[in-house]
Amino acid sequence: MTSLKPALLRAKQAAEYLSISKSLFYELVQEGLIPKGTQIRKRCVVWRVADLNQHPEKFIAKNEVSNAS
């Protein structure tokens, strides 16, 4: 039996998926380099994996600049 990959990720999971810190993840969302998540409950925001896969070069470049500092 094959396991299903998640289609939605919370912020911590999304940051891990992109191999960046959670604080950098939120910074990239704030800058518009990562799309804003969808609020599904009062205190639960999720990001679609498909959206995170759209333009990874944008935040990979930002991550490399942050690591160089």
Convert the pLDDT of each residue in 1-58 to its tens digit. 667 788 999 999 999 998 899 999 999 999 988 999 999 999 999 999 999 988 677 6
- What is the CB-side half-sphere exposure of residue 8 using CA atoms within 13 A? 9
Q: How far apart are CA 8 and CA 44, in angstroms?
A: 11
Would you state the pLDDT for residue 40? 95
Residues 8-33: b if buried by 16+ CB within 10 A, e if exposed: bbeeeebbeebebeeebbebbbeeee
